[in-house]
Structure 1
């Protein structure tokens, strides 16, 4: 059922509902409005009660994707009106965050109609061993590891939900020499992984950090698969810029973020970490140059947390247009795949420590984002056989090139967009496609002629393009663009056919805090700042000039765990 929602409510955003059980409270007649937090902001839902029964419910305010909101409304609101309760309603696949926002809003509206008052939580100055800023993938990994080793851990998240950008990760985690690769007969090596990552990063990566990432990748997959976490990483596929299949993801090619974040949240809580939502860190405390706690703002005021170590896991700045334009003026006005909290708050807070920032101008755009929505389409779709065609119905790039190359090729098209094209066999091979179907993102045709009409491209050209690609698949050689045969396992010959219009959008900021292989934040002299550690997108150096798909989840998990282990060592001294 709604595990992530239940945990989120248990910790609560700011409020605890106090009164008798809902089931024991009668509903008052009238219209009542509740609120929840969706992907893009607040969702408001009204319920109408007459004769003590709920007779109507409606989404009255949201800034979610129209397609997603409509699907959620259709499935959740209708079921809610049938049941009169949210307790047996699952989140809609592909719209988990929006769904949970609607469910939260409905629960709040019910509570208000029952006369249940809300009492604000009051936070006071406190102490802990390790305070973690940010409850995304890196922060939750660090919290799980540190708490499992006996530390008193407090995680502070400024948003009303955990997960950050990791919620929307649709790919997987890159690793080599794993048991899963061995089981599937996949040949790979650390050296090939290293060369792929350095080449993809335009050789701007810190080689030591890349080696650390690769050397710990197989162990991280196994750690995530332990009963403490319970992740399913049994499917291994091909991604752009990778020579071999090494991206590990849930069975059937499901999205990694929606799978992993609830598991990490549950694990962190079970190990004893405390997670506070809607608590924004506004400053990192310093004692003679040592990080020793944080100052926090929330609706009830401000308070201080004194700690023996601080882990910064606040993510990047992909949702801060001013910072994007400052560091890379050519990207002004671009759409973004980032959640609204990715605003680069940490960089100001570390100035007092003379912390070193590196490669801030290295900002990645993802080539396949649904036009006008900010919804990213996983690279796995291309890895499993989809091709890119322009409005003329022609391929124009090696679809499995690095993201910068593919994005540049898409932007050269007159419309600055293109279509991802695939057939039923590709859809069947990748569970993530059902998410896109649920979001009404697919154009469909019983044959290529029908599809060409649906997307307004030349039918003759499209049929020729697909025929040439199918011949390349059969020959295991792409004479036109040199696509990796590892991603050419199936012909596009199994109707119906599908297309999604895409455009590049800001996706990942590769620059950030300079760290060493122990996840210690370094100052401008290259020396570790005592008590200050960092992991994830807030750091720089791992990815260089371009991040390969699958390396972000590896980065946040591996360095999140390393940051926790290093902080534990520091605290013990």
Structure 2
């Protein structure tokens, strides 16, 4: 097992190897958006990234960012508002979020999408053929393949066109902090050497702590045995540094799970397979929960079943909707998706009892609320049928550093660290205290908006 060294905080050295105005740790969506924003504001920018190429949790996601009031929405004739968006976020999180943070994200999301589209040429479009749980309007914006890898590549290309320096293979291990301010970091090179980088201000875009199993066990024991589906680089540097410099943290038990990951293939299966009328059954061929609660809650529900697995059952109509997602296409090409003209044939392909599966599907009635509390529409499952074996996974954490309206890190005493900023998984998100508050797109929403705000802010 890899030993994860605790990030340290030290007094700054007398001299740094080099210095920069704005230093950004992490080249995921948050870090790259922050870099573009900072460059636009006339700042000298450097991004350091632990991986060999930028990727992070963004590359593992569907790359969808929710926003209300974008020009893309308006062109599609979709009526939405930031107030409705904020209300949806709070409703999913059972009103546990800081309202000011919710409003900040909801009110700034459209500007970020419009800016990325018009200024940097990212080809966003709406997911307009199905509804995401908890969203009152169709507001999910994504690039053509609906893949996070396309989003991260597009942002990296935009940064390169802007002349932004991105140095990969540099993991920040030491934070230099003195007199209430950040002075720089020390970064580990691939050859084992150390570089010290001074800065006027620092933006932490280094994501959460899902890859640090000790922190996961401490803060979210309900999911500690789930498949880790996020990025292994998420080791919790921001949270661990916060404890050493007196920074405030919140909702460290919040996370995005996903209970629809193809097993053993490890490929994310879009939740559209469920929201459009599909169901999940266990190894006995029986439904076991109200799937309408969402895919994050599904992680714990699925893990509670025998061997921590379940089966998503849907049909060809739903599969055609899911085909817009690159991950679904890959799962299909790798044989994870089974199909048959009959439920009996599908049951055989999945290793399920045919009689029980048939009875389970027959019990679904149109426009009725079932014993789990889920209401189905008029369109029920019909042949040909599809299915996939799935497990529950932890995708990323949603708790982290508290930030103000400028994305500056807040101290435990209520003040701010005037030259330290955080966004994305490094900052506290808007999913409340656990997994029940994860609204689709929360992670990239916080990454995009806080990255944009932190990038264009000036020290102090």
Give the TM-score band, short-chain normalised: 0.7 to 0.9
SS of equivalent residue, structure 2 residue 269: coil
2:317 corresponds in structure 1 to 425
1:316 corresponds in structure 2 to 208
Matches within 5 A, 1:7-46: none
Matches within 5 A, 1:408-487: 408-430=300-322, 431-432=324-325, 433-469=328-364, 471-472=365-366, 475=367, 477-483=368-374
Contact 2:260 2:295 in 1 (8 A): no
TM-score, normalisation: structure 1:
0.71
The answer to whether structure 1 residue 508 and structure 2 residue 396 are counterparts is yes
2:125 corresponds in structure 1 to 233
Contact 2:296 2:438 in 1 (8 A): no
Partner Cα separation in structure 2 for residue 309 and residue 234 of structure 1: 35
SS of equivalent residue, structure 2 residue 135: coil
**Alignment match of 2:52 (pick from 155, 160, 166):** 160
Partner Cα separation in structure 2 for residue 492 and residue 180 of structure 1: 32
1:175 corresponds in structure 2 to 67
Over residues 83-119 of structure 1, what are the superposed CA-to-partner deviations in whole Å (9 max), with x where a residue is unaligned?
A: xxxxxxxxxxxxxxxxxxxxxxxxxxxxxxxxxxxxx
Evaluate the alpha carbon distance shift between residue 429 and residue 364 of structure 1 in structure 2; reply closer, same or farther with a 3 A threshold. Answer: closer
Shift of residue 484 of structure 1?
Answer: 6.4
- Structure 1: stretches of 5+ with no match in the other structure: 1-40, 42-123
Aligned length: 438
Greater RCO structure (CA 8 Å; 6+ sep):
2
The answer to whether structure 1 residue 249 and structure 2 residue 137 are counterparts is no
- Structure 2: stretches of 5+ with no match in the other structure: 3-15
Evaluate the alpha carbon distance shift between residue 364 and residue 491 of structure 1 in structure 2; reply closer, same or farther with a 3 A threshold. Answer: same
Shift of residue 295 of structure 1?
Answer: 1.6
Partner Cα separation in structure 2 for residue 292 and residue 352 of structure 1: 15
Shift of residue 305 of structure 1?
Answer: 1.6
SS of equivalent residue, structure 2 residue 176: strand
SS of equivalent residue, structure 1 residue 310: strand
Matches within 5 A, 1:117-132: 125-132=17-24
2:93 corresponds in structure 1 to 201
RMSD of aligned alpha carbons: 2.5
SS of equivalent residue, structure 1 residue 453: helix
Contact 1:417 1:503 in 2 (8 A): yes
SS of equivalent residue, structure 1 residue 501: strand
**Alignment match of 1:217 (pick from 109, 112, 123):** 109
Shift of residue 535 of structure 1?
Answer: 0.3
Contact 1:387 1:421 in 2 (8 A): yes
Matches within 5 A, 1:259-338: 259-300=150-191, 301-338=193-230
**Alignment match of 1:522 (pick from 410, 435, 443):** 410
Shift of residue 257 of structure 1?
Answer: 0.6
Partner Cα separation in structure 2 for residue 196 and residue 144 of structure 1: 29
Evaluate the alpha carbon distance shift between residue 151 and residue 195 of structure 1 in structure 2; reply closer, same or farther with a 3 A threshold. Answer: same
When Rg is computed on C-alpha atoms for both structures, the one with the higher figure is: 1
SS of equivalent residue, structure 1 residue 263: helix
Shift of residue 162 of structure 1?
Answer: 0.6
Shift of residue 512 of structure 1?
Answer: 1.0
